[in-house]
Every structure is written in C-alpha cells, then in structure tokens.
Amino acid sequence: MRCAVLGDPIAHSLSPTLHRAGYEAVGLDWTYEAVRVPSGGLADHVSGLDEGWRGLSVTAPLKREALLRASVVSDRAALAGAANTLVLTGGPGGEVHADNTDLPGAVAAVRERYDGPVAAATILGAGATAASTGLALAELGATHVRLLARDRVRAAETAAAIERHPGGVQVEVVPLRSATVLGDVVVSTVPAGAQVADLVDRCATASVVFEVLYDPWPTPLAEAATGRGQTLVGGLDLLVHQAALQFLAFTGVAAPLDVMREAGEAALRRSGSSDE
C-alpha cells in the first residue's frame, strides 16, 4: 500500500522518515513519500489516486481544504474545521475519511513534558494549526485562550473553532505585534522569521513554551525558552504523537512510537536541526 504527506512546501517534512521507520519496525512492505500539492489542488490530486493508495497526511496549506474532499468527517476534524489525515477506502470513487490527529497529538505532546495545570493559554498565530492546538489546550483544561494574530478578520474562523469546544472556552483575538502573553502555556504557530526579539521576550511569563516547528531548530523562541528554564514542548514531539495516530489509522497496527521518534531525532541531527 502507498501513503504520502501532501502540502506546499513539503521537501522539509520528516513524516516520510517517521512512517517508513514505523513500517520497517512492524514488518509492513508499504511506501510513504512527500508530494507537493499547492493550495487548491487537493481535490484533483486525491481524485487521481488508484486503489493502491491508503493514507494521506495533510499539512499546510491544505488542512481546511481537506474537509471539503472528505465523505466521512470525524468529530474532532469537524470541531477543528480542519483535517490533517485522509484515509482512502475502496479506490477511485471510494470513501475518503477525514480526521484531525493534531488535536490529540498536541494533548499527548504537552502531557509528555508537563503535568501541571492549564487554566489559560496564548497562541501565536491563528491558522489551522492554531485551531487544533487551541482545542487541545481546552482539552487540557484551558477556559481562556488568547490568539495573537496579524489579522483579526482572518483569525475569526480559528477563534470560532476553539469556542466550539464543549468545555466552554473564552477566546480573544489581539494584535500579534503588541499584545501580552497570557496563561500557563504559550503555543507558537508562527514562522521562525516572525519570532522577533520583542515577541520572544513577551513569552517569558509562561511556564510552558510549545513550539510547533521542528525545522529550523531551535527557533528563537525555543532557544530562549531553554535559556530561561521554561518547559519546552517541541515540534518533533507533536509530529511524532500525531503521526503515531495516523499510522494506526492507515495500517490498523499500533505505531512503534519510540522507533519513529528516534528516526526523527536522527534525521534532525543529520540536518543540523537537532532538538537535543
């Protein structure tokens, strides 16, 4: 069977490394590749796949687009308004099942590093990943989430997704360039290039810094968090936990999480982006 990660850009993705290591560890003769699919091209790409294809990991900028191609949508993908996982059944014309493993993956990534309270939190950025991590923060107990966004109008969809959490979450959208960071956890979904000194300094009050990027590494925010002694949750933590859930969805076999993590860490060391 064949699987792939889709997005644009995509050459940097560690997903092939993780999934291939998993297949080898459990004895599956499957393939997994990275395929560049630009915004607007997901539906045509999926329609052209034959019965040899089983699973697709979906990354930026396609996560919201993925919902439109699905015939069956999981509750958490519907809640987030975005999917990062498509499972193909029956070949061309068959059902396409959409899920969001970023949400439970983010919960697992935080709890692996931090067992303290999460009453309030801040997210830098307001795209599809911010929606998933915002819902994860709500799962962890947050009742107040502050979105630091460049564009209040474009952030409205993400704010609405987080507010749909059944636990009841107050979401406020404030300017990225000047607003203060609130709460126990700060999540960064912005590019490393946007992590200017003033923004990094504003994140010093949080107990936990969750940097969703893994390449480049360390980002300015991750480096500062390490120096300040804050608990750091890295992008590889998120990638491994969400990939393990995708692995199970694609193959029906429990993922060898430790093997996948070790493969990711080795790849980052080779590229000079190690998180160690």
Express each pLDDT in 109-127 by its tens digit.
999 999 999 999 999 999 9
For the question of residue 66 being annotated catalytic, the response is no
pLDDT at 124: 98
Domains of the chain: 2-100+240-271 (3.40.50.10860), 103-233 (3.40.50.720)
Q: Residue 107 above 90 pLDDT?
A: yes
Sequence-distant (6+) residues with CB within 8 A of 118 are 110, 137, 140, 141, 142, 183, 184, 185
Q: Which entry of 19, 20, 54, 63 is annotated as an active-site residue?
A: 63
Query: What does pTM read for this prediction?
Result: 0.93
CB 68 within 8 A of CB 208: no
Q: Does residue 275 carry a pLDDT above 80?
A: no
Total residues found in the chain within this entry: 276
Return mean pLDDT, the chain.
95
pLDDT at residue 138 greater than cutoff 60:
yes
Q: How far apart are CA 31 and CA 33, in angstroms?
A: 7
Chain segment 193-236, per-residue pLDDT in tens = 999 999 999 999 999 999 999 989 999 999 999 999 999 999 99
